[in-house]
Structure 1
Amino acid sequence: MISRSLCRRAGAAVSWNSRATMPLASKIQNPAFRAQMATTATNGATIKELPGDEAEDVLFDTLYGLRTIELNRPKKLNSLNGSMVRKIVPRMQEWTKSDMANIILLKGAGEKAMCAGGDVAELAKWNSEGPEGQQRSTDYFGLEYKLDHMIATYKKPLVALMDGITMGGGVGLSIHTPLRIATERTVFAMPETTIGFFPDVGASFFLPKMNGAVGTYLALTSDRLKGANVFYAGIATHYIHSTSLPSLEARLAELRFNDYDTLETRLSLIDSTLEEFTTGLPHDEPIQIAGAMREAIDRCFSPNSVPEIIAALEAETGETQEWAQKTLKTLHQRSPTSVYVTLRQMRLGKTWSIKETFQREHQIAAKFMRHPDFTEGVSALLIRKPEPGQPRVPPKWQPASLEDIKASDNVAEPFFEVEGEKKLGLLSEEDYTSYPHAKFSLPTESQVAQYVRRELKSRKSIVKGFVQARSGKQGIKEVVEEILGKYRINPGTLHEDLPIQLGSYRHSLISPGGPSQLYSIAVRCGECYGSLVALAKDGSEAAVSREVAGRFPLDPDSDEGFAMVSTWFNECIEKHPHTCRLPGNLTGTEVAEFPTRLVDVGTDGDLRIRLIDSRGMTGQYAALSHRWSLNPTEHFKTTRLLLDQRKAGIDIDAMPLNFQDAVKVTRKLGIQYLWIDSLCIVQDDTNDWECESAAMGQVYNHSSVTIRAAPESSRTSSKQYTGGFLCRPTGATDSPTVEIPYRKRNGELAGSWFMQPDKGATSSKIH
C-alpha cells in the first residue's frame, strides 16, 4: 500500500501557505486564494461573515491538494461559536467547486483540544436576556447544525484530527466525517446532561448506532473515553500517535486522484495511507467498556424508562456493584429533565435520517433555551465562581431530582413535539439513514454476529476472516476478539479451533438438534475433539442449584414441551425483573417500540398471516434467529415487488418449515407479532436493508423472546428431519449417557447429573 501511495505523489509541485505573504497579482490568479477571498460569499446560502466577527478564529491553509481548517481559539479550547461557523461554511462551499481541493482536514490549534464544544457560556448570557436572547441562542444552534449537516453529506474526502479534547460541538464537527483520527491525547464525551441540555450535533443519529446500550450510557452519564478507547468504541476510525500528525499531513497533501475516481475510491486510498502511520495500540490501555462492565451497561441501560434504569443499577451486585453505585450518583447529579429527554431521544433517534436528525434536534434545542435548566447548569458550572476555598455550588434543577418526576408528568414528550413551520432549513437536501462510509470503522457487534451466523466457524477463523477482509487494519483483531468474548461462547473451551456459535439473546428456545453449546464443555483427546453437554433432571438438586444448566430435552412439539417453555418464559417475567425483563416496565404502562415491520401471526387455526407496518406501535413481539438456505432460490423473502402481497396475506403452508414452527411457537406463547428478517426487511431495497440491518441488534434486544431455529439445510445425513426445528429427526437414537454423582458444596451426596456427547457441536466423533 505504501507503493500505491507513492505512485500518486506530486512531482515537483509547488506548495504555499495561505498565511504567507504573496504578491497581489499572484494572490488574485491563484484559485485557492480566490477561495480565501470568497469567505463572505454565500453561493445562494445565507451564511456569511458579519461585522464584529472575531478575526482569525479559524485559519485556512493550503498545501498541494490538502485544505486545512484549523479552529484557532486555543485559550478557550477551540470552543465553537457563530463567528467560526460563518467562516467555515463559505470556504467549504467554495472547495466543493475546486478541482485543486483534494482532501479537507479539520483540526484544532494547540495540543489541548480539537474543540471542547460550543461556547455555551455566551448562550447562557443571551438566554438570561429573555425571549429575544433565547431566540438568538436558537439561531446559533441552527447555524451550527447546518454546518454539521454539510460535513455529514460533503462530497469530498474529509478527515478529522480528534487530537485532544473533543466534546459536544467538537464531536459534531468530527463524528460525521468518513475518517476520524484519535491520538493518545483524545478525550471524548457528550457532556450535555451536566449543563441541563441534551446530546445534540447529530448524537440522535450516531449514539443509538453504537454497540448495545453503550450509546445510551454515554448520553445519560457523560462518561469520558480517552485515547485508544475512542478508537475501540468506533468513534474514531484510526488511532495514530500525535507525534506522527505533522508527517501525516504532509503525506495527505501529496496524494493525487484521477478525475474519474469516486469518493469511495479516494477515501479508500486515504484510509490505507492513514494505516501507514499507525504504530500499534498502547498495551497499557485495555478496552474500557468491556467484559462485566459492558454486560452491566447492556443490562442497566437497555430499558425504556428512567425508573427502570435506576432500578437495574440498584440491583447490580458482585464486581459491577461499585460501578453501578458510582453511575447512580452520576445520574442524580444530572439535570432530571435532561436525563428524561435524552433517554427518549436515544429511542426515537434511531429511526431518524441524518437530515431529520438535525431538524428535530434544532426544535429540541429551541425548547431547552426556554427551559431554566440550561441557563442554570451553564451558570453554575462555568460562569458563577465559588468563594475562595469553597466548593462550587451545584445547579438548582427544575424539577430538582429524578424522584420528583412522576410518570404522569410527561416531562420529555413536549420536547419532541414537531413544529412544522419552524423546521430548520439546511444547506442541501442530501439525506441518508446510515453512514455511507461506515466500512472504514471497526466492525460492530451486529456485523460480527451476522458473519458468525452465516456459517459455523472457529474463533480463530472468525478473527482471521475480519482481519483479512479489512486488509490487516489496526484494531480489528482486538475488537473482534472482545466481541466474541462478550458472548461467553463455549465456557471452558480448551481448544480454540473448535467451531463456535454466537448468541446474545435474553430468551432462547433450544432446538432438538442437540443441547445448547452454552451448557457444553469442549474436550480434546488425541486427534478427536468435540463437546460434552452437562444435563440434570428437573427438580433434582443439581438442577435446583443451577450449577448444571442443561436439561433433558422434551419433545418440543408436544403439549408438555410447550408447557415447559411457557413456564420458563413466565418465570423470567415474574422472578427475574432486571436480568430477564421484558422491554419496558412490567406493569405494561411502557413497552418497547416495534420495529418498522412485523408479522401478525393471528390465532390458532388461522391459515394465513400478514406483514404489517408497525412503526410507532408498542407491545410484545417474538424474533426468529435462523440461518438462510445456501440455495438463493429457496429464500422466502420480501422484495419490493412482493411487499404489498405480503401485507395482503401469506399462506402459512407456503412458508419454510422453520417459519411455520416459529409462528406456532409465537402463538403458543400468547404473543401476537413475530419478526423474521427475510420477511420484515425489503431485501432488494438498499436503503431499507441498510437502515433495518443497522437496527437488528435493537430488534433482538427488545424482543420478548428470541427463537433460535436450527437450519434445515444443516441437518446431518444420519438424521433426516422431516419438518422444521420443532420436529425430531427420524431415526434418531438416544446418545450414550454417563451418570455422575452430584455433591453439594458441603460434600453431601445429592442425586446425580449426566453427561452426553453434544451431537450438534462435535467435530470429530467422541464416544
Structure 2
Amino acid sequence: MSQSVQLASLPFASHFKLGVIRLNSEKTLNALSLEMIHLIHSQLHDWQEDPYIVAVLIEGSGDKAFCAGGNVVDVYRSIVDKADGGAFSQHYFSHEYELDQYIHEYRKPVLCWGHGYVMGGGMGLFMASRYRLVMPSSKLAMPEIKIGLYPDVGASYFLNQLPEHFARFLALTAYQVNATDACELGLATHYVCDEAYYEILKQLASGVLDDNSHEHVIQHIERVLHTFTMSDELPLLRPELIAHEKELEKLMSGDIVNIYHSLKGFKNDSSSLMAARGNFLKGSPLSACLIIDQLDWAKGKSLADVFERETCLSVNISLYGDFCEGVRALLIDKDQKPVWKYHSVIEVPKDALVKYVEKVTLKQEECSS
C-alpha cells in the first residue's frame, strides 16, 4: 500500500469503528496526487459496504496543512513536458471531481479535520464532508486565480450557498478565511482547539450505541463535537469578513469590470484584505472573467451539473487558458511574473469565454454548457 495515504480504523462507541484517511505528503502540504485520489476513493467504497465502519475521518499529516490543493504541477508537466494533449489533465480533474461528489453523497457521516491550510483541492474534500472542523490554525481559501484556473472542486456549487458578495470575493481574491468567519459563513460546522484532536477521538471511542443506524451515529458525533465547541479554552478569533460585509457588498457589485475598478481603488487598514486585493490585481484577468461567468451559470444548478461543467472547463483552461503560465510562474520557475493572455479584465472579450465550456473534449464528446 502506498504511503501517500495512510489508512486506519479506530474504536467508535465501543463496538464499532471510525475509518481514518490521512493524506500523507507533508512536503507538498498534502497536495492531492492522482494516486491519492484513487486510493481515497477505493477505500471509501470498501468502507461504505462494511457494517462495522460507521463513520470516516479525513485528515492531513504535519502541522501546516490539511491539504493545500491539488497537485497541479503534475497536470502542468503532462501538458508542457510530455505534450500529451490534455489526456492526463482530463483524467486527473474528472477523477478528482468524482471523488468530491462521492464524499458529498456518502451514506456514512464524514468528518474532516481542517487544520492549517485548506485550499483548492483540499476545500473540495473539506466542503464535501458532513462535519467540517476548523481551529485557530485554519486558513481556508480558493487561490486558483493566482495560477490561471478558477475555483473548481464543486466551488461553483458551494460558494453559491453564500451571499453573492462573499462568494465573489472569495473566488476572485484567494482570501484566507479564518475559523470564526468560516463558521459564521457556514463553510465550517464546528470550531475546536487544535490540541483537541486526541481527546475528540477518545470521546468518539467512548460510550455505547445500540446499533449502527445513521441516526444514532450522528447523534453520538454531534454530542461529542458540541462539547468541544463550547470549550472555554477556545481563543476568540476576530471575524474579519463579517465585520467588513458592507464594504465587500459594494466592492463585488456589478459585472467584472465594475469589480475591477472598485478593487483597484480600494484601500483598507486590514493587511489581509489588501493582500486579497493584490491577489486579484496580479491574478489572471481571463480567470477573473471565467470566475464570474461560472458562478452566475451555477446558480440553482445541481452538484452533478456543476461537476460536469467544471470537468470540461478545467481541461480546456489547462490546455488553452492561463493555467500553464500561472503554474510556471508560481510553482515551477517561481519568478512570480506570469505573462497572462490579457493585461486586464477590460481587454477580455466576452466571446472569448465561450470556447472554454463548449469546446469538444479529447474523447470527441461535447461538454455540456
TM-score using structure 2 length: 0.89
Q: In the superposition, relative to structure 1, how do residues 150 and 185 fare at CA in structure 2: closer, same or farther (>3 Å)?
A: same
Q: Supply the distance in 2 between the matched residues of 1:393 and 1:84 (Cα, whole angstroms).
A: 28
Q: Supply the distance in 1 between the matched residues of 2:4 and 2:366 (Cα, whole angstroms).
A: 30
C-alpha deviations, 1:149-170, integer Å up to 9, x for none?
1100000011000011110111
The residue matched to 1:80 in structure 2 has which SS? Answer: coil
Counterpart position of 1:195:
147
The residue matched to 1:285 in structure 2 has which SS? Answer: coil
C-alpha deviations, 1:138-158, integer Å up to 9, x for none?
211111111111100000011
Q: Supply the distance in 1 between the matched residues of 2:43 and 2:203 (Cα, whole angstroms).
A: 23
1:272 Cα deviation (Å)? 2.1
How many residues align? The count is: 360
Higher RCO (CA-CA < 8 Å; seq separation 6+): 2
The residue matched to 1:114 in structure 2 has which SS? Answer: strand
User: Which runs of structure 2 are paired with 1:265-280 in the superposition (5 Å)?
Assistant: 265-278=216-229, 279-280=231-232
The residue matched to 1:394 in structure 2 has which SS? Answer: coil
Counterpart position of 1:414:
355
The residue matched to 2:8 in structure 1 has which SS? Answer: strand
The residue matched to 1:62 in structure 2 has which SS? Answer: strand
Counterpart amino acid of residue 116 in structure 1: A
Counterpart amino acid of residue 287 in structure 1: P
Q: 2:5 aligns with which of 54, 58, 68?
A: 58
User: Which runs of structure 2 are paired with 1:150-169 in the superposition (5 Å)?
Assistant: 150-169=102-121
1:345 aligns with 2:288: no
1:148 aligns with 2:100: yes
User: Which runs of structure 2 are paired with 1:317-396 in the superposition (5 Å)?
Assistant: 328-385=277-334, 392-396=335-339
Q: Supply the distance in 1 between the matched residues of 2:307 and 2:297 (Cα, whole angstroms).
A: 13
User: Which runs of structure 2 are paired with 1:710-749 in the superposition (5 Å)?
Assistant: none
The residue matched to 1:175 in structure 2 has which SS? Answer: helix
Q: Supply the distance in 1 between the matched residues of 2:249 and 2:110 (Cα, whole angstroms).
A: 33
Q: 1:299 aligns with which of 238, 250, 259?
A: 250
C-alpha deviations, 1:197-255, integer Å up to 9, x for none?
01010001100111341011000111111233322332110011011101111222345
C-alpha deviations, 1:488-508, integer Å up to 9, x for none?
xxxxxxxxxxxxxxxxxxxxx
Counterpart amino acid of residue 417 in structure 1: E
Counterpart position of 1:311:
261
1:228 aligns with 2:177: no
User: Which runs of structure 2 are paired with 1:38-57 in the superposition (5 Å)?
Assistant: 55-57=2-4
1:313 Cα deviation (Å)? 3.9
Q: Supply the distance in 2 between the matched residues of 1:56 and 1:321 (Cα, whole angstroms).
A: 41
Counterpart amino acid of residue 113 in structure 1: A
Counterpart position of 1:402:
345
1:192 Cα deviation (Å)? 0.4
Counterpart amino acid of residue 325 in structure 2: E
1:85 aligns with 2:37: yes
Q: Supply the distance in 1 between the matched residues of 2:273 and 2:300 (Cα, whole angstroms).
A: 29
C-alpha deviations, 1:400-426, integer Å up to 9, x for none?
3223224xx4232322337696479xx
Which ranges of structure 2 fall in alignment gaps of 5 or more residues? 12-16
Counterpart amino acid of residue 310 in structure 1: Y
Q: In the superposition, relative to structure 1, how do residues 316 and 195 fare at CA in structure 2: closer, same or farther (>3 Å)?
A: closer
Higher helix share: 2
Counterpart amino acid of residue 346 in structure 1: L
The residue matched to 1:84 in structure 2 has which SS? Answer: helix
User: Which runs of structure 2 are paired with 1:469-508 in the superposition (5 Å)?
Assistant: none
Counterpart amino acid of residue 252 in structure 2: F
1:131 Cα deviation (Å)? 5.4
Counterpart position of 2:14:
none
The residue matched to 1:102 in structure 2 has which SS? Answer: strand
Q: Supply the distance in 1 between the matched residues of 2:130 and 2:197 (Cα, whole angstroms).
A: 18
The residue matched to 2:118 in structure 1 has which SS? Answer: strand
Counterpart position of 1:512:
none
Are the counterparts in 2 of residues 313 and 324 from structure 1 also a CA contact under 8 Å? no
Are the counterparts in 1 of residues 118 and 138 from structure 2 also a CA contact under 8 Å? yes
Q: Supply the distance in 2 between the matched residues of 1:322 and 1:393 (Cα, whole angstroms).
A: 20
TM-score using structure 1 length: 0.44
Q: Supply the distance in 1 between the matched residues of 2:224 and 2:167 (Cα, whole angstroms).
A: 30
RMSD between aligned alpha carbons?
A: 2.6
User: Which runs of structure 2 are paired with 1:169-208 in the superposition (5 Å)?
Assistant: 169-208=121-160
1:314 Cα deviation (Å)? 5.5
The residue matched to 2:84 in structure 1 has which SS? Answer: helix
Q: Percent identity?
A: 28
Are the counterparts in 1 of residues 104 and 128 from structure 2 also a CA contact under 8 Å? yes
Q: Supply the distance in 1 between the matched residues of 2:328 and 2:264 (Cα, whole angstroms).
A: 31
Q: Supply the distance in 2 between the matched residues of 1:191 and 1:180 (Cα, whole angstroms).
A: 19
C-alpha deviations, 1:605-637, integer Å up to 9, x for none?
xxxxxxxxxxxxxxxxxxxxxxxxxxxxxxxxx
User: Which runs of structure 2 are paired with 1:214-253 in the superposition (5 Å)?
Assistant: 214-253=166-205
Counterpart amino acid of residue 93 in structure 1: H
Q: In the superposition, relative to structure 1, how do residues 118 and 320 fare at CA in structure 2: closer, same or farther (>3 Å)?
A: same
Q: In the superposition, relative to structure 1, how do residues 150 and 393 fare at CA in structure 2: closer, same or farther (>3 Å)?
A: closer
Q: 2:19 aligns with which of 64, 67, 76?
A: 67
Are the counterparts in 1 of residues 66 and 113 from structure 2 also a CA contact under 8 Å? yes
Counterpart position of 1:761:
none
The residue matched to 1:235 in structure 2 has which SS? Answer: coil
Counterpart position of 1:95:
47
Q: In the superposition, relative to structure 1, how do residues 273 and 132 fare at CA in structure 2: closer, same or farther (>3 Å)?
A: same
Q: In the superposition, relative to structure 1, how do residues 256 and 71 fare at CA in structure 2: closer, same or farther (>3 Å)?
A: farther
1:137 Cα deviation (Å)? 1.5
The residue matched to 1:223 in structure 2 has which SS? Answer: coil
Q: Supply the distance in 1 between the matched residues of 2:245 and 2:293 (Cα, whole angstroms).
A: 21
Q: Supply the distance in 1 between the matched residues of 2:114 and 2:272 (Cα, whole angstroms).
A: 28
Q: Supply the distance in 2 between the matched residues of 1:251 and 1:405 (Cα, whole angstroms).
A: 54
Counterpart position of 1:753:
none
Q: Supply the distance in 1 between the matched residues of 2:266 and 2:103 (Cα, whole angstroms).
A: 41
Counterpart amino acid of residue 309 in structure 2: R
Which ranges of structure 1 fall in alignment gaps of 5 or more residues? 1-38, 40-54, 386-391, 425-767
Q: Supply the distance in 2 between the matched residues of 1:373 and 1:337 (Cα, whole angstroms).
A: 7
The residue matched to 1:290 in structure 2 has which SS? Answer: helix
1:130 Cα deviation (Å)? 6.3
Higher alpha-carbon Rg: 1
